[in-house]
Every structure is written in structure tokens, then in C-alpha cells.
Chains A and B, each alone.
Chain A
Amino acid sequence: MYRRDASTVIFARLRAVRLSAVRPAACTGLSAVLLLAGCTTHPDAPHAASTPLRTLHREDMLWLERTSFGLDTDSVADYRRLGREKFLDRQLHPAQMTLPAPIAAQIAALQITPADPMQSIAAINAQNKVINAMPGGSDKEQARKVLNDQGNKLAYEAIRRDLLRAVYSPAQLQEQMIWFWLNHFSVFQYKANLRWLIGDYEERAIRPHVFGHFRDLVMATLQHPAMLQFLDNNQNAAGHINENYARELLELHTLGVGGGYSQQDVQELARVLTGVGINVGDAPHLKPELQRLYVRSGAFEFNPARHDFGAKTILGHPIRGQGFGEVEDAVKMIVSQPACARFIARELAIYFVADNPPPALVERVAQTFMRTDGDIAAVLHTLFMSPELDGSFGGKFKDPMRFVVSAVRFAYDGKPISNTHPMLNWLNGLGEAPYGRQTPDGYPMTELSWASAGQMSRRFEIARAIGAGNAALFDPEDGGAASTAGFPQLANRLYFEALEPSLAARTKTALDRANSQQEWNTFLLSSPEFNYE
């Protein structure tokens, strides 16, 4: 009762503020109380400032939204302190940025954190062997279930870690890029034993290279057992060609459809990739002349006995038979194609700027890619300091991941949640569960795919779940007693600073028609201004 009474008071005050007839546009009501410093100086230029900003303009907020999974008080404070360019530099070099201690502790407690894929695969193989040798019956079923549950648990932990980082990491651009690259080099958790591997895939293949050179990212995914199994290259051997990965490496990972390669190039690349696979057992017995070409790193193996040493030509470039060096040379040559630079530039621009990004911007970003040998930090610098980005504000529809994470960031503003199951359920319901894309093309990044009738009403339901505070985000993970946390207070300082100034009249009318704080929260999270950035 107390909680409800208190909120009613706040809500009533809020309405009173909103209904006050005369107020200056930038600093009014609650925000005037909370933002004294912000109201005392002349407006600064909206961007390109490297000195601390006193007043934040709407463009600053929208820019900040694009570089992050949504605003929270800390990111606004950082931006205010650093200005746009320094803020961006810090985001692009996040080594010193750390997670809040309670979140770091939650992640440190996960089972996946120290897991090693070689041991994981070996253990699953051993368990499967035992299960297969068991006589049919309930014991066997039970053993399978135990193994299966373990895989589900580890996959969930990987997703839990992703979500916690997405919500709470101050290195917001890094976390968005983790999502982007995981989606670009998409793997599906339910294929083979990937549920045991996706945590490591993110941690070792993607995360270290997220702002590095694109070539290193391609090579890291190419050698990871998750990708090798997802696209079947572990079955690709001389005389038993499997083109699956070779094709997607060209089509989805580097050059894009229409990137100038032919079916012949796919076949040749598949030959280059023969012998690239997985081994968690003993090294194979090799002839002495092949011994020196053998490569092994964890579960990754290049087995020269499975490799096709014949001459190959890809995109007109001869590849000389020399074992795994062929793969490195081929990847280096492919990612240095202008088609690759343009493809990656366009994908980034679709994700961060617009569904149909301006060609001039894509070309400039691609030029940076080519000039810097695919330096992702440099590429993103060009993108985020471009006038085209500023010109696109308010027009990009949030995909489900951005919607869910930004809502939780906005609603709870740094307060640590304990249970990520509701977030995963919402993402499942909206069709964008992490590691849940069956097809290797990753989730679409444009409005068309996420704003259908059914998806919009589902989104509003989730807005209500968050706005009404019955979301179980603060319940214990293990299903213990439910928490008594109330609904969030969305009419907060952040709202008045960041969202309220840009609300359309129709949205304000809707908010005014709310009968309770919970309903007000729901409408705000459902509004066009919250769902577009």
C-alpha cells in the first residue's frame, strides 16, 4: 500500500508539472530542479565540441542513443563531461572501462566463464559415447536429458552474460558491436554441440577483435569450433568437398551477394579450406613431409592429410599450395577487395544509421576501411562523426534487442537486475533471441522485419511488463521467492532531459490520458519516440 500511495503522489505531481501552462522549452519543472547547472550557460554548439558540454541538445541525446543500447544517467554524464569526440574515442578504446561491481560478480559466478571448448567438446563426446552404449530405456533417456540440460544451461549463461553486459557496461558501443559481429558471423546454438561453445565463441573469437582489424575477426571466426561446425567446414576434405562455409564466407561474411565472386570462386575457396577443422583427440599420424604443415590450437586443427594441395585461383588471384598459409593468404586477399570494404561499410551503416543508408556515407566509410586495412575503430570513427548520422536521427526503428535493452536501461538506470530470463523471454517473443537465428545470415536489421502487426502488439505488451514492474527482473535466478520490487519511475530526470523535449503532440496527449504511473510508463515505452532512435 505504501508503495502505491507514494507513486500516486509522484504521478499526480508529474501531471501537475505537465499541465503547467507557461514554461520555457529546455528547462522546466522537475528538470529545472535537477539540472541547475545545465540552465545557466549559453547553449554550446551541438557537436564537434571537445570541451565539456553544459547544455545537451536533442542532437546530442540522439547521437548518444545511436552509440549505445539506450540512454542512462551515467552515459549522459560521461557525454556531458567529455564532449562528442572524446566520448567517441573513449568508446572506441574501452580497455579501461569496467562493469559495475555487482554485475561483474554475477558474471564471474557463471559456469561458462572459465570453460575451454576443447575440454567441453571432449567431455560431450565422451558422454555421448557412454549414452550410446547404454541399452535403450529410461536410464538412457535420463542420461540424454542430463546432458541436454547442461547444454541449455551453458547456452543460457552465455546469453545472460551478453544481456548483463549490454545493459550495464559503460562500454556501450563495444557491446553493440559485439551484437553486430555476432550477428554478422551468426551461429545457431541448437546445431551440433554449439550450446557448449557459444560463450567461448563470443569471448575469444569476437570480443578481442571487435574494434581491431576486420581480417583478424574473420580469421578468429574461421578457426573457432562453433563456426567450423555451424557451417560444416569440419567435414570439408580433399575429395569430400563441403562448400557450405566457403560460400557463406564470401556471401555473408566478406563480399556480400553480388560482390563479384562466381560459383567457381566458391569451389576454389572450398578447396583452400579443406583440412580446416576440429580435433579434440590425439594428433593424427602424418607423413614426415606433412608433419611441419600440421596446425593445432585448442580444438582447432589444420590437418594437411585432409588438404587439397592442388593449384587454385580465387577472384583471379593464384593461391599457391602451402597448407594453412593458403587460407591466411586467401582471406587477406578477399578482405582487401573494395567489395568487402563496401559490404561491411553498408552493413554498419544499416545497423547504425538508416535502413537505406546514404551512398555517399557508405562510400566514405568504405574508403576509411580500405585506407586503414580494415581498422574497425577508424571505420566507426568516420561513421559516427558523419553529418549523415546526424541527419538520420529519429528515423531508425529499434530492433527487439535495442528495444528491450534500452527499456531496461531507461527504466532501472543502473540498478542491477538479478534475473535475465524475462529479457530472454521478451527477445524470444519478438523473434530475436541471441544465438537463435537458424540461418547463417543473421537477423535482419531493418524496420520491415520487426514492425509487423503482431510484433507491434507484442512489443506493447512487453512495454507494459516493464512499465508495470511485474517483470520478475529482480527475482532470484534460481526460481526462489519472488522479489517485492515495485514498478519503475520512468518520469525521471533522464526522461525530462532526454525524451520529453522531443515528444510529438500525439504522444504527449497519450501520456496525459494515462490513469496511473504504470500506464504512463507503458505508453512512454510504446511511443514512437522511444521505439525509434
Chain B
Amino acid sequence: MNRRRMLKLGGAALVSAGISGRLYAAPGAGPRFLLVFLRGGYDSTNLLIPYSSSFYYEARPTIGIARPDPSSNSSALALDGDWALAPAVRDTIGAMYTQRQAAFVPFAGTDDLSRSHFETQDSIELGQPAAGTRNYRSGFLGRLSEILVGSSGINSSIAFTDALPLAFEGSATVPNLSLKNVGKPPFDERQARILSDMYAGHRLEAAVSNGLELRHEVAQEMADEMTEANRSAINTKGFELEAERMGRLMRDKYRLGFIDIGGWDTHVGEGAAQGPLATNLSSLGKGLQAFSSSLGAEWNNTVVVVLSEFGRTFRENGNRGTDHGHGTVYWVLGGSISGGRICGEQARVARGTLFQDRDFPVLNDYRAVLGGMFRSLWDLSPAQSSRIFPQSSSIDLKLV
């Protein structure tokens, strides 16, 4: 696909948006990107199971997930000779993988060795070099957003969160709104107009009218949901519903999105094929599937990356759970990615290759992986890409 041409199309959309007076200009045919941050360090070793390794089954006597069983539709799904996908996401992410719309990057992560959620989440979101002073006012998605505004004139970034995440900190103002609970809008159109009029000519004029309009837009999506739900008698809940809303908004209005999901810190009783981790993964898988469906044809123009601050200990602990580790597995999803692959540098899974005899090593630095992806997605120059991730050389996994 010719991305430069697409960017031009995006620019044309700006003009028509100005005429129609819509909240945010439709991002046109430009690529879309959603970052899904799993806060708490999800146990990637029970998502992407190294089933050819007998060491895996030794190290996880109670929480190990059984080898793929070709005769069963509910066992782990063999992706290749070494890796299998957790049964919890077999029908969702597994189906995408089979259609080459999903890929995994094991041994991914950061050079942060603190094994602290707090520390490592920050360093990922900031995306700055490990050495030197951290600037908490500049996140890597914020810097990407600034570059995209610069090239297209359109600010179409959104965080689907209550507060603006560190990743989106930066000079361009990015709106944020959680789609978890969006009841009917608190203000009817008359009230919203009065509130907007009160700020006419004020420096917050745009923020006020955009914010009120965004609430209305989202409420309209809700109204559709209600009628559709009544018609098909499907009652979607939780993350699935939230993700479906995200998909609609990104289809129509946003180019760059962020969402975070908690509840992955499974120190105790995480379960195996079933259990708390499987429940969370299943909900995530269903949500991402709903996200892709609601994007419609634009799914072919969308890339989703799912990541977490670190992996967990390779061996299960005394509480049938796992503790903070190092290397993790990133997911890359999208309608037209070159998926169906396990990508990046890999090591054989054995005791000898563990990092500090504890967890997976990091062989694929997140800044290089994401940097390479952004470069190719938006045709960024080396200068632009090093603005997003300073002092990092990008690697191209040829996924997008």
C-alpha cells in the first residue's frame, strides 16, 4: 500500500471536516494504531506456551498448560513446533493468527531491571533512554502524536482512560475518555450549548465544546448499541463492550489510541487452562475481536500492539502463581499485517537460557520493535523516528 498517498488523503479529510464542523476530523485512510497496556505484568509464559520444552512442565507442575491435543478444540492451539496459544484465546486471537492477522514477539521488553511495575511501566510509557534524566512530560505516543499532527494537520489521538496516560504526555493536547461506563450524557443539547457558549472566545473554548461533543458522540454510539442489542438480544459486557466502542470511535474519528487494563499481577493461584489468568485473557481476546469487528473494513488499516511491563518468573512460586520477571510476549494484531508468525530474536527455552536463572531474557527491545513498526506504518524519517525513541535503533520485523 502507498502510505504517503494515504497521508495525503488524511489531509484532504481535514478540509471537509472543517466544513462539516465535526469534532475531530476523520483520519481518512491513514493507518490506525492502538496500544493496549496490560498493567501488572501478565504471565506471558501461559499465553504463549513453549510446549516443546520439558523444562516448562517441570517448572510449572500445577499451573502448566497441557500440550496441544489435535483431537480437542479446547486444548492449547499449536502455532508451530515449539509454541502453542492458551486455550482461553484460542477462538479469538487463535483465529486471527490462523488468518495471519496476529503475530507474537516473545523475549520482548525493556532493559529496566528493577522488576518494579511502577518503574518499568513508566520507562515504557516515556520511551526515553534508560540513562539520563526522565522527562515525565513526554511520552512516546505523545511524541508520535505530535509528528502525526505535523504531517497531517489532524490531531486524532485519544486515550480511552480516565486520566491521560504518561505515554500520551506531550505538547499536543490529547483528549481522554473512558468508555467503561458511558451513561446517558449529563447534559442535553440545550444545556451543552449554553455551557459551550459560556466559553466562546475563551482559551478553553475548543476543549469545552470538544469535550461536550465527545460525550454526545459517545452517547449516540450508546443509543445504537441499545437498539442493536435489543434486536439481536446480545448483552455484551465489560471489556468486550468497551473495546467495541473503541473500535467504532477509531473507525470514524481517531488514528492513535491507548487503553490500559489491570489485574495481571498473578502472584497467587493464577490457574492454568482455566482460572483467573485464563478468565482475563479470554475477556481480552473477546474484546480485541470485538474491536476488530467494529472497525469493519478499517481493520485492514489498523495495527494493535498488546504489551505489558514485564513477564513473570518462569517457575511457579509456592502460591501456585508467578512473581515479577523480565522478558515478556508482545502481541501484534491487524487486518493486513503479515501475521501468523512468531517474530524477533529467540532463544531455546531451557534452564540455561533463563535470565538470572529466573525469567525470560529480553532479546527484542520494545523501543526498537515499536520504533520499526511506526517507521514503516507512517513512513517516518530517521529523524522523526529518533524523536519518538531517542538513541534507539529500530528493527523491522516486517509485520506491517
Q: A456-B204, A528-B204 are contacts. A429–B162 as well, Cβ < 8 Å?
A: yes
Partner of B212 from the list A140, A257, A444, A460 (CB cut-off 8 Å) is A460
A510 at the interface (CB under 8 A from B): yes
> B194 contacts A428, CB within 8 Å?
no
B52 partner residues in chain A, CB cutoff 8 A: none
In the complex, the answer to whether B162 meets A510 with C-beta atoms within 8 Å is: no
B164 touches A136 (CB 8 A): no
A144 within 8 A of B: yes
* 8 Å CB contact of B197 from A452, A453, A456, A510: A510
What interface size band does chain B fall in? 35 or more
Query: Which of chain A's residues has its CB closest to B163's CB?
Result: A431
Instruction: Bits for A129-156, please: 1 = Cβ < 8 Å to B, else 0.
Output: 0000000100011001000000000000
Q: Is B174 an interface residue (CB 8 A)?
A: yes
A452 and B208 form a contact (CB under 8 A)? no
Contact B176 A191 (CB under 8 A): no
Bound Cα distance from A451 to B344, whole angstroms = 41
In the complex with contacts A456-B204, A456-B211, A141-B173 CB distance below 8 A? no
Residues of A within 8 A of B136 (CB): 439, 441
CB distance from B185 to the nearest CB of A (A): 9
Given the interface contacts A460-B212, A464-B186, does A510 sit within 8 Å of B194 by beta carbon? yes
Bits for A373-414, please: 1 = Cβ < 8 Å to B, else 0: 000000000000000000000000000000000000000000
Q: Are A141 and B211 interface neighbours, CB within 8 A?
A: no
Say how far A260's CB is from chain B's closest CB, in angstroms: 13
For the complex, give the distance between the alpha carbons of A528 and B197 in Å. 11
- Asked, given contacts A457-B212, A457-B214, A527-B198, whether A452 binds B320 with beta carbons under 8 Å apart, the answer is no
Residue ID in chain A nearest B187 by CB atoms: A460
Contacts of B137 in A (CB 8 A): 444
Question: In the bound complex, how far is the Cα of B186 from the Cα of A429, in angstroms?
Answer: 15
Check B195 against A460 for contact (C-beta < 8 Å): yes
Q: A453 to B217: give the CA distance in the assembly, Å.
A: 13
Contact between chains at B198 and A510 (CB < 8 Å): yes
A454 B118 Cβ-Cβ under 8 A: no
CB distance from A151 to the nearest CB of B (A): 16
Flag if B197 contacts A454 (CB, 8 Å): no
A196 within 8 A of B: no
Decide: A509 near B197, CB < 8 A? Known: A456-B204, A464-B186. yes
Check: B396 CB closer than 8 A to any chain A CB.
no
- Residue among A429, A460, A513, A519 with max Cβ neighbours from chain B (10 Å): A460
Q: Which B residues touch A191, using CB under 8 A?
A: 118
Asked if A438 is at the interface of the complex by the 8 Å CB criterion, the answer is: yes
Q: Which of A488-526 contact B (CB under 8 A)?
A: 506-507, 509-510, 513-514, 519, 522-523, 526
A475 interface hit (Cβ, 8 Å): no
> Within residues 169 to 205 of chain B, which ones have a CB less than 8 A from any CB in chain A?
173-177, 186-187, 191, 194-195, 197-202, 204
The answer to whether the Cβ of B133 comes within 8 Å of any Cβ in the partner chain is: yes
User: At the interface, yes or no: A300 with Cβ under 8 Å from chain B?
Assistant: no
Any chain B CB within 8 A of the CB of A461?
yes
Is there a chain A Cβ closer than 8 Å to B255's Cβ?
no
Given contacts A439-B122, A451-B207, contact A528 B214 (CB under 8 A): no
Q: Specify which chain B residues have a CB less than 8 angstroms from the CB of A308 in the assembled complex.
A: none
With a cutoff of 8 Å between Cβ atoms, the chain B residues found around residue A337 in the complex are none
Is B367's beta carbon under 8 Å from chain A? no
Contacts of B202 in A (CB 8 A): 528
Q: Does A369 contact B (CB under 8 A)?
A: no
A513–B194 contact, CB under 8 A? yes
B118 touches A438 (CB 8 A): yes
Interface flag for A157 (CB, 8 Å): no
A188 at the interface (CB under 8 A from B): yes
Measured in the bound complex, the distance between the Cα atoms of B318 and A140 in whole Å is 13
Picked from B122, B133, B174, the residue with its CB within 8 Å of the CB of A452 is B174
The chain A residue sitting closest to B176, CB to CB, is A454
Interchain CA distance A428-B180 in the complex, whole Å: 15
From the candidates B191, B201, B268, name the one contacting A519 in the complex (CB within 8 A): B191
Inter-subunit contact A136/B320 (CB<8 Å): yes
- Residues of A within 8 Å of B133, CB to CB, are 251, 257
Distance, CA A527 to CA B200, complexed state (A): 11
- Residues facing A in B316-359 (CB within 8 A) are 319-320
Q: Is there a chain B Cβ closer than 8 Å to A455's Cβ?
A: yes
Partner of B175, one of A141, A429, A453: A453
- Complex alpha-carbon distance, A251 and B132, angstroms: 12
| Chain B, Cβ-Cβ closest to A522 | B191
Could you tell me the distance between the alpha carbons of A281 and B282 in the complex, rounded to whole angstroms? 45
Looking at A141, A188, A506, which has the most chain B CB atoms within 10 Å of its CB? A506
Does B253 reach chain A (CB closer than 8 Å)? no
Across the interface, do B195 and A510 meet the contact criterion of CB distance under 8 Å?
yes
Asked whether, in the complex, the Cβ of B208 is within 8 Å of the Cβ of A456, the reply is yes
CB neighbours of A439 from chain B (8 A): 118, 122, 136, 166
Q: Determine whether the beta carbon of A456 is less than 8 Å from that of B186.
A: no
| Neighbouring A residues of B211 by C-beta, 8 Å | 452-458, 460
- Check B210 for interface membership: any CB of A closer than 8 A: yes
Interchain CB contact under 8 A, B194 and A452: no
Q: Mark A434-468, 1 if CB is under 8 A from B, else 0.
A: 00001101001000110111111110110010000
Q: Are B199 and A528 touching (Cβ within 8 A)? A: yes
CA distance A438 to B126 in the complex (A): 14
B32 within 8 A of A: no
**Smallest beta-carbon distance A234→chain B, Å:** 14
Instruction: Annotate B124-148 by CB proximity to A: 1 below 8 A, 0 otherwise.
Output: 0000000001001100000000000
Q: Which residue of the partner chain, among B176, B187, B194, B201, contacts A455 with CB atoms under 8 Å? A: B176
Shortest C-beta distance, A484 to chain B (Å), equals 23
Residue B269, interface by CB 8 Å = yes
Separation of A283 and B204 alpha carbons in the complex (Å): 58
Taken residue by residue from 290 to 324, chain A's Cβ proximity to chain B (1 for < 8 Å, 0 otherwise) reads as 00000000000000000000000000000000000
By a CB distance below 8 angstroms, the chain B residues around A453 are 173, 175, 177, 206-208, 210-211, 214
Instruction: Give A364 to B166 CA distance when docked, in angstroms.
Output: 34
Interface residues of B in 194-237 (CB under 8 A from A): 194-195, 197-202, 204, 206-208, 210-212, 214-215
A438 to B117, CA, bound (A): 10
Q: Return the CB mask of B297-309 against A: 1 if under 8 Å, else 0.
A: 0000000000000
Bound CA span A327–B201, Å: 54
A113 to B202, CA, bound (A): 45
Do B164 and A452 have beta carbons less than 8 Å apart? yes
Residues of A within 8 A of B198 (CB): 506-507, 509-510, 523, 526-528
A451 to B136, CA, bound (A): 18
Max chain A CB contacts within 10 Å: which of B136, B137, B186, B214?
B186
B208 contact set on A, CB distance < 8 A: 453, 456-457
Q: Who on chain B is nearest to A456 by CB? A: B211
Q: Please provide the chain A residues from 179 to 193 with a CB less than 8 Å away from any CB of chain B in the complex.
A: 188, 191
Given contacts A438-B118, A455-B207, A460-B212, 12 further A-B contacts (CB under 8 A): A428-B162, A439-B166, A451-B207, A452-B207, A453-B207, A453-B210, A457-B208, A460-B211, A464-B187, A506-B197, A510-B197, A523-B198
Can you list 13 pairs linking A and B with CB atoms under 8 Å apart?
A: A140-B268, A438-B122, A452-B176, A453-B207, A453-B208, A454-B211, A456-B211, A458-B211, A464-B186, A506-B200, A513-B194, A519-B191, A528-B204
Q: Which residues of B are interface residues toward A (Cβ below 8 A)?
A: 118, 121-122, 133, 136-137, 162-164, 166, 173-177, 186-187, 191, 194-195, 197-202, 204, 206-208, 210-212, 214-215, 268-269, 319-320
